[in-house]
Each structure stands twice: as C-alpha cells, then as structure tokens.
Chain A
C-alpha cells in the first residue's frame, strides 16, 4: 500500500511487510516532510486518512537526542493522543529545529461506523528504524509499528 504511484515524488509513504505488524516508510524533501508522511502512513495502517474530518487540532512539542529517536517519539505521541482522546487524524504539520519538534495533528473523534478502524496502534518501535538523507533532497523515515 502506498500514497502515490509516482515514485519520483518526494512526499510519499508506503507500508512494508513485517511478520506480525506493519512497517511504515516515508519520504520527503526534508525531515519535516518525511515526518508528516510517516504520520500519514501510521494513520493509513488504521483507516483511510481521507475519511477523517479535520475538526480539531492537537499541538505536540517534543525533543530527543537524535533525529531517528525523535521520529519514534513523534509517532508515539500521535498514538498516545489517538488513544487518550479517542481521535483519529488526517493532516499533520511538523517543524524541527535542533532536535526539537513542534507538530500539529488535525482530525476528529473516531467514528467506528464511518472510519471502521482495522487495528489499534500500540506503539512505534525501534525495529527497522531510520531517519536518513538517502540522497540530497530525499529523506527517508521508517520504523515498524506494533499493532
């Protein structure tokens, strides 16, 4: 499953197989864009993000000693907000400066009938974790999500 057929595009995501769970891999021109795409990939593991109405905004502030750890923290913060607020998200914004992240997630309270979520994300893991610039202008952010 992937967000775009055009693999030349920078901002996109895909799922990669893991025996029990789901791998998310995202690409972007910047780490911020890759983080946004990774968040969309997590949501797509649960439901179709295009069905989510953007009614509420949640702000998230994080810091971590490394960019890849920041990715895990970002995805885990979203998983926490989904669980605690009973929400699902469909759009994201991210700014990163010196391993400090300011993020924004927009979405709505989950509707079991309209969203029919397939799985619950338990946590983002360090398995297959990477946040690297594969070539100038192409960042890859990935890890496995325990569902």
Chain B
C-alpha cells in the first residue's frame, strides 16, 4: 500500500490562503479598490499578501496612506522603500491639507488628536478618486466592535457602518453588490490574531519599521501610556517628566496617540515570546481607543477604517 497523503495545511497556510482569496475577490468584484497602507505591521502584511495574490503581475490596487502629518520619521522612510520594493502605486491623502482647506477642524489643547480627522480625509480621498472599496488591515481580535465586522463590510453613501444591519456572510460567498455612491471596506486579515501576524512576519521574513524593535527613546507618561517626546508632535506638559527608556511600539499610528511599551525585545523571536506572555491588548497603548467604551464603534459608524 502506498503511504497515505495527509494534505495537512498549517494554520498560517490557511490564513494566507483565505487572505489571498479575499484579495482576489476584491479585485474581481470592484471597479476601483484601494489598499489602505499606514506603514503599520497589519497593513504591511496585507500589502505583502496582495503582492503574492497577483504574482507575477503587479498589484491591481492603489495604496492609500491617510497621513495625519504626525508620523514617526522611520514610518515614512519605511513606507517609501517598501512601496518601491513591491512595485506599487502610492497615494498620500493628507489630514493637514484637509485642515488647510477647511474640511476639518483641528482639536485644541495639548491632548489634541488628529485621529477623528482622518475620517474626513479618508472619505474625501474616496470621493475624489472614486474608490468603491478600501482594503483595511483590521482584525476581529483587535477590538470588540471589530469582532462584529464582515470580510466585505458594506458602507452607505456617507461611508457609514451600520452594525445592526449587516449582510449575512456565509461560507466564502461575499456579496459586494452596491448602489452608486455606496462603498465597501474589505478586511482580508479578519481571522488573524496579533500572534498570527507576528508568526507570519517571521515565516516570510518581512522587513518592518525599526520602531517595532527595542530601542532607546525619550518618552513621557500620560494616562498610563508612554508617549514619544522626540518627534515634537506630542506636547509634554511641565509636570510630565521626559525620560530615556528602552522601548518599542506594539502598534504604530499617529505619534500623539500611540503609546510605546518598555521592552528589551530586539528580534522577531523576542517579540513573539513577548506577545505570547502579554497581559494587555495591543490597542491598550492606543489613546484613540481609550477615549470611551465605544470609541472604535463610534468612529466606524462615522466612516473610519
């Protein structure tokens, strides 16, 4: 008797295969999709998967970076070299421009954040470029409102999410039909966890911004988060003492609302060990989610990622 073939498919293979399927469905079902690229690890993994899904052809998506203007310089350097490496087109939609054009009004005070303003810039870019779908790196394990998301998430013509009235999503059949002016958000990494993302980055040897790895940084503490004091975007108050610490970032976003964590993790192996033992969620470092119990749900209803 010949040996019996097992056809075993590892967890990462299953997740990769599912994501490639979703990316190809997006290319096939929509006229003009964009891939939201922030330079954070989830959008990096998503863009990496998009390159794989259409290889050896190029990406059938424009990369769209909604830029709050409050970037870590490493993120921008990384963004430009990564985009070149995978041969993609990049479009930058600037929150600063939205403010200058009077489309958005900057929050006042030292706690001001441009997080909410991103929605205005995103929706304007979608309208200007006539994007009918935006791929996002959001994962259901990240946040409680995101746990309710579909792979293909329907948005009305104001870009809004209606969580109580979503289309049922069965098997692998995605319904991307819509009326003129409506749009979709698509989440190929829905079923990935933070750990899956890190294991995949290690397996694929995907280059990452250096911010994810342990380094020395000037920081100050606010509401239990360590905020960056080097870029000048977050404004420490006189009582908020600036200290030098060994830090890394678990998520990367707008400088003013992304907290660093104290960590000696200098390699992917170190990070994976750290994530496995973590007792705080990764978005626990995000001031944008701490504003209220339903901060993410409220932003998504307004048209956020």
Pair from one complex: no
Chain A residues at the B interface, C-beta cutoff of 8 Å: none
